[in-house]
């Protein structure tokens, strides 16, 4: 029986297709995501993501507290790159209020954000291989991530939800131990990347499972606004750190890692490459960090961004994280829209999944690196 | 028929044959349980070493009793039967998975004169009994009345049927070489291990056997990242434990057959025969474990393609070459 | 990619990118949004987000405003925000046929602000459960579940929540 390429509808009398609920409690949806799949045997005819199970109304909370009080929320939106979100939020407010940030704080921010990007990519690598049925890389990646968390923990006091940024700088200065640990980690991790390539990238089963699977072409960037590693894997060199440099990213030499094909393997290669680029950035930042204060001397007592709309975007580990702020000049925002990358990436699933196998669903969902609280906010 | 067997002697020590059967069954069950306990411990230690961990260390020396503690926990758990299952199938499936194992184990010659049963067609019987496993898995998947369990069961049936063919084709050259279907005679006939002359058959057999036992990278029937737990999603407590026991005992059986067919069975210098036998069997099992903790999982269609387009033709070619060489 | 030429734009202002993070703000009628969006798409712009603002109490205009943000997929950043005012009770016009991303963004607008979007292929709740009533991001939203009243920002009468003492409005926002 000929069936349309993508459909969610059960046809009466056609007994060979059925629905399968994947989630909200499923080991591979990385949280409370639910995918309604329309299957014919193991082949996917249609997919409909159902989201909102982790909805915590961050945007509503933002409207009911002042700007500083919302700061801890930001690292809870995407708990895997909490530092990037934290600092991004601070930078958004600083930009709106034109607060100058001291040099040293800018360097610390870059180091911490890139360390955070490494932790996020490492967690992705581990869980991705777990999704594909490889257990061992998971523990290797978590081992390396643990070392990073210790480094971040030593300066921020937390492992996941950092709340490290402040308007005008960062909350605490770093010492030489931290900088040395970060630099040492870079040396150590370069060798480890080669090991990961040997263990994972060159594994024939891994290649068979990921090559040509889940192609997200550049067209999806136009249609959906796909961003981050998913977009760069399709060969589009778009990285907000280069294209719209925030903070002091324009001072560092690093490449935008791209790959061809837009499949799961390309996304893997992009993230592996990005980890190396993050190491480059950290090394440059550790080498060039100046002495000085870490918090601006003149931060207004009351945070009141000028009335009107403001937009600020950062490149999180998953892609384009934007904050659209409407202020009316008071202590409390009128509206703070959080534009999160995973929301967009999950929205593409109805066009990416049909035609693949059930096992590919897991590979594809894993490869786009979704974080559920970020989708649901 | 080969000469004196422990079974005959063993049975004759009892006056009543029923007591003898009970004792033999008890011995088998004891072996199955202790073997599973030790294999699970081994699996944990192997995986831990590969993953830069320690594995169990707390319960007993080297954590040896950890599995026992887990079994006690499993036995103590409530047996939950979900409302929506097909009860007869659901309840019989674990028994179906477990029952053939004792029969299978009794066919294995452990030492030159240590065989429970031996007759002309032990190899055929053994391969036939291993096929029953599929029925158990399908009964579990179908009876669970759960889409994930059914998907797992369907995968298991397709996979096991596909891989039985290269498995048999890999065994046939050995049968042709020894002109015997008795495991004891095949093992006895090996003045050198047959792996030296039939390396390809051994590799095909071992890959197929890994697939037959649903071990990674062929563990798609229970691929937990896709199908939660596959065919045993709806099983809890000791019912799940029985599937687990069956899996580990199946590993022993396929590795024991590999040992008998390709590695010379109990033959080896210095040590007694049965020690050599178990060294070889557990060595092969350790290799299977290393597989599991190294490779990601294949996709279902890739698995089938691999069996039908690579393993089966290779095994056929190997069989033909063997026939030609033997006839020359 | 052709040059960007925008039809049906009522008013345009250039804003300071270094302060606002965007280059252009436009106003358009809600019904003209498909044409505007199509122009952006032809020029190689993608939709970054649709944000709904509840301006009924903020600007006192009895209306919601949908802000559509566009940015080129490749090349330098050139951010356009098109504002379309939708009077209360009126419907916005869907651009899901032009940008697939708008499908979910418009569902979110409907879910959170209760703004109807005409021409949407499947307008239903996205973040809140299907049977939910009320629109959480409206400024006058009151959560019927008193246990979660902190979210609404509306301070209930003291004693409205059993066991909850009066001073639970600020600081105790543990969610």
Work out the average pLDDT over B110-120: 73
Give yes or no for residue A256 having a pLDDT over 70.
yes
B296:A134 CB<8 A: yes
Q: Which helix (H) or strand (E) holds C51?
A: strand C45-54
Work out the average pLDDT over B204-233: 80
Roughly what angle, to the nearest 10 degrees, separates helices A176-196 and A264-288? Answer: 150
B52:A143 CB<8 A: yes
Our CA-based measurement puts residue A135 at a distance from the nearest CA of chain B, in whole angstroms, of 6
In DSSP notation, A103-133 reads: HHHHHHHHHHHHHHHHHHHHHHHHHHHHHTT
Q: Which residues in chain C have Cβ-Cβ distances shorter than 8 Å to A335? A: 51, 53-54, 137
- Closest listed residue to residue C11, CA positions, set C116, C91, C84, C104: C84
Q: Which residues in chain A have Cβ-Cβ distances shorter than 8 Å to B302? A: 208-209
pTM: 0.85
- What is the rounded CA–CA span in Å between residue B65 and residue B81? 29
Looking at the partner chain, which of A65, A223, A237 has a beta carbon nearest the beta carbon of C100?
A223
Give yes or no for residue C173 having a pLDDT over 80.
no
C2: confidence class by pLDDT, cuts 50, 70, 90: low
Token couple for B253: 């059986």
Q: Which helix (H) or strand (E) holds A324?
A: strand A320-327
Looking at the partner chain, which of A222, A337, A343 has a beta carbon nearest the beta carbon of C41?
A222
A2: confidence class by pLDDT, cuts 50, 70, 90: low
Cα separation values, C44 from A221, A262, A352, C48, Å: 10, 19, 21, 13
Burial A149-170 (b: 16+ CB within 10 A, else e): bebbeebbeeebbbbbbbbbbb
Place of tokens 């069989």: B319
B39-53 pLDDT tens trace: 888 888 888 888 888
Residues in chain A: 377
B231-287 pLDDT tens trace: 778 888 788 888 888 888 888 888 888 888 888 878 778 777 778 888 888 899 888
Q: Which residues in chain C have Cβ-Cβ distances shorter than 8 Å to A69? A: 173
Looking at the partner chain, which of A98, A313, A335 has a beta carbon nearest the beta carbon of C19?
A98
B67-87 pLDDT tens trace: 888 888 888 888 888 888 888
Kindly compute the dihedral angle of the four CA atoms of residues B97, A20, A123, A206, in this order, to the nearest 10 degrees. 70
Our CA-based measurement puts residue A115 at a distance from the nearest CA of chain B, in whole angstroms, of 23
Our CA-based measurement puts residue C135 at a distance from the nearest CA of chain A, in whole angstroms, of 11
Give yes or no for residue C140 having a pLDDT over 60.
yes
Q: Is C38 on the interface with A (CB under 8 A)?
A: no
With CA atoms as reference, the chain B residue closest to A134 would be B296
A357:B300 CB<8 A: yes
Roughly what angle, to the nearest 10 degrees, separates helices B199-212 and B312-327? Answer: 140
- What is the rounded CA–CA span in Å between residue A287 and residue A183? 9
Q: Rounded to 5 degrees, what are φ and ψ at B223? A: -55, 105
Our CA-based measurement puts residue A250 at a distance from the nearest CA of chain C, in whole angstroms, of 14
A27:B224 CB<8 A: yes
Looking at the partner chain, which of C81, C127, C150 has a beta carbon nearest the beta carbon of A55?
C127
A357:B53 CB<8 A: no
Other residues' Cβ atoms within 10 Å of the Cβ of residue A297: 9
- Closest listed residue to residue A46, CA positions, set A71, A70, A13, A10: A10
Where do runs of H (alpha helix) occur along chain B? Answer: 6-12, 17-50, 66-76, 87-105, 122-144, 147-178, 183-188, 199-212, 224-227, 237-262, 273-294, 300-305, 312-327
Looking at the partner chain, which of A18, A26, A132 has a beta carbon nearest the beta carbon of B296?
A132
Our CA-based measurement puts residue A61 at a distance from the nearest CA of chain C, in whole angstroms, of 6
Q: Cβ neighbours of residue B25 under 8 Å, at least 6 residues apart?
A: B102
Q: Is A362 on the interface with B (CB under 8 A)?
A: yes
With CA atoms as reference, the chain C residue closest to A314 would be C21
Token couple for A207: 């290649």
In contact, A126 and A141? CB cutoff 8 Å: yes
Q: What number is the ipTM of this complex?
A: 0.86
Q: Which residues in chain A have Cβ-Cβ distances shorter than 8 Å to B148? A: 20
C58-70 pLDDT tens trace: 777 888 888 999 8
Give yes or no for residue A3 having a pLDDT over 80.
no
B147:A18 CB<8 A: yes
A185-209 pLDDT tens trace: 999 999 999 989 988 888 888 888 8
Q: Are strands C45-54 and A165-166 parallel, antiparallel or unpaired?
A: unpaired
User: In the structure, do chain C and chain B come into contact, i.e. share 3 or more CB pairs under 8 Å?
Assistant: no
From the options 1.10.645.10, 3.40.50.300, 1.10.10.10, 3.90.105.10, give the CATH code of A69-302+340-376.
Answer: 1.10.645.10
Looking at the partner chain, which of B53, B220, B225 has a beta carbon nearest the beta carbon of A139?
B53
A281: confidence class by pLDDT, cuts 50, 70, 90: very high
Chain B positions with Cβ closer than 8 Å to A: 47, 50-53, 147-148, 151, 155, 216-217, 219-220, 223-226, 228, 292-302
């Amino acid at each position: 029986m000929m069936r349309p390429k993508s459909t969610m509808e059960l046809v009466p009398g056609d007994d060979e297709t059925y629905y399968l609920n994947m989630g909200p409690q499923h080991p591979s949806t990385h949280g409370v995501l639910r995918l309604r799949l329309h299957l014919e045997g193991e082949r996917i005819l249609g997919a409909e993501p159902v989201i909102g199970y982790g909805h915590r109304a961050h945007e509503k909370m933002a409207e009911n507290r002042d700007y500083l009080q919302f700061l801890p929320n930001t690292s809870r939106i995407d708990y895997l790159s909490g530092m990037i979100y934290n600092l991004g939020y601070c930078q958004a407010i600083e930009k709106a209020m034109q607060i100058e940030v001291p040099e040293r704080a800018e360097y610390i921010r870059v180091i911490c954000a890139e360390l955070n990007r490494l932790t996020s990519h490492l967690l992705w690598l581990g869980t991705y291989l777990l999704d594909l049925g490889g257990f061992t890389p998971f523990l290797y990646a978590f081992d390396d991530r643990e070392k990073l968390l210790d480094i971040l923990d030593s300066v921020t006091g937390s492992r996941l939800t950092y709340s490290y940024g402040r308007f005008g700088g960062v909350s605490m200065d770093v010492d030489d131990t931290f900088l040395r640990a970060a630099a040492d980690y870079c040396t150590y991790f370069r060798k480890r990347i080669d090991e990961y390539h040997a263990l994972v990238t060159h594994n024939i089963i891994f290649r068979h499972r990921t090559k040509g699977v889940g192609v997200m072409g550049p067209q999806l960037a136009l249609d959906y606004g796909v961003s981050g590693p998913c977009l760069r894997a399709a060969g589009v060199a778009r990285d907000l750190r280069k294209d719209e440099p925030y903070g002091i990213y324009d001072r560092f030499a690093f490449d935008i890692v791209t790959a061809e094909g837009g499949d799961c393997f390309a996304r893997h290669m992009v993230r592996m490459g990005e980890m190396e680029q993050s190491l480059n950035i950290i090394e440059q930042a550790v080498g060039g960090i100046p002495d000085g204060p870490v918090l601006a001397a003149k931060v207004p007592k009351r945070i009141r961004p000028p009335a009107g709309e403001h937009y600020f975007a950062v490149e999180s580990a998953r892609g384009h994280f934007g904050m659209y702020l409407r202020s009316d000049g008071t202590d409390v925002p009128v509206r703070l829209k959080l534009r999160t990358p995973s929301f967009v990436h999950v929205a593409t699933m109805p066009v990416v999944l049909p035609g693949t196998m059930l096992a590919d669903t897991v590979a594809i969902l894993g490869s786009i690196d979704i974080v559920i609280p970020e989708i649901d906010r | 028929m080969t000469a004196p067997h422990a079974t005959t002697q063993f049975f004759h020590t009892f006056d009543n044959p029923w007591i003898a059967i009970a004792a033999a069954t008890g011995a088998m069950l004891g072996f199955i349980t202790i073997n599973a306990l030790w294999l699970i411990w081994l699996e944990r230690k192997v995986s831990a070493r590969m993953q830069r961990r320690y594995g169990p260390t707390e319960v007993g020396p080297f954590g040896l009793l950890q599995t026992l503690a887990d079994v006690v926990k499993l036995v103590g758990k409530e047996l939950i039967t979900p409302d929506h299952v097909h009860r007869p199938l659901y309840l019989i499936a674990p028994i179906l998975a477990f029952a053939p194992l004792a029969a299978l184990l009794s066919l294995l010659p452990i030492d030159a004169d240590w065989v429970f049963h031996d007759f002309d067609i032990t190899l055929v019987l053994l391969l036939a009994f291993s096929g029953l496993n599929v029925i158990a898995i399908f009964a579990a998947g179908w009876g669970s009345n759960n889409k994930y369990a059914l998907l797992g069961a369907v995968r298991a049936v397709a996979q096991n049927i596909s891989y039985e063919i290269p498995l048999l084709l890999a065994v046939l050259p050995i049968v042709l070489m020894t002109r015997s279907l008795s495991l004891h005679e095949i093992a006895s006939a090996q003045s050198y291990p047959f792996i030296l002359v039939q390396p390809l058959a051994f590799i095909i057999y071992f890959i197929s056997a890994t697939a037959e036992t649903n071990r990674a990278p062929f563990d798609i029937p229970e691929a937990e990242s896709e199908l939660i737990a596959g065919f045993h999603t709806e099983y809890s407590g000791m019912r799940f434990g029985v599937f687990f026991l069956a899996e580990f005992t199946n590993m022993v059986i396929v590795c024991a057959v590999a040992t008998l067919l390709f590695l010379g069975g109990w033959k080896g210098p210095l040590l007694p025969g049965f020690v050599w036998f178990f060294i070889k069997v557990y060595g092969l099992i350790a290799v299977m474990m290393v597989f599991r903790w190294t490779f990601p999982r294949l996709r279902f269609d890739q698995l089938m393609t691999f069996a039908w387009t690579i393993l089966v033709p290779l095994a056929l070619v190997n069989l033909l070459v063997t026939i030609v060489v033997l006839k020359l | 990619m052709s040059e960007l030429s925008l039809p049906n734009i009522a008013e345009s202002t250039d804003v300071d990118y270094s302060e606002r993070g965007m280059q252009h703000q436009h106003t358009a009628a809600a019904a003209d949004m498909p044409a505007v969006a199509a122009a952006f798409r032809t020029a190689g712009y993608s939709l970054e987000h649709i944000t709904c603002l509840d301006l009924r109490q903020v600007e006192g205009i009895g209306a919601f405003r949908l802000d559509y943000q566009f940015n080129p997929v490749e090349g330098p950043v050139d951010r356009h925000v098109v504002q379309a005012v939708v009077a209360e009770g009126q419907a916005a016009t869907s651009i899901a046929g032009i940008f697939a991303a708008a499908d979910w963004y418009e569902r979110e607008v409907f879910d959170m602000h209760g703004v109807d979007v005409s021409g949407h292929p499947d307008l239903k709740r996205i973040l809140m459960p299907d049977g939910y009533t009320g629109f959480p991001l409206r400024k006058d939203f009151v959560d019927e579940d008193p246990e979660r009243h902190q979210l609404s920002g509306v301070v209930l009468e003291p004693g409205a929540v059993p066991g909850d003492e009066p001073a639970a409005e600020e600081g105790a926002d543990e969610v």
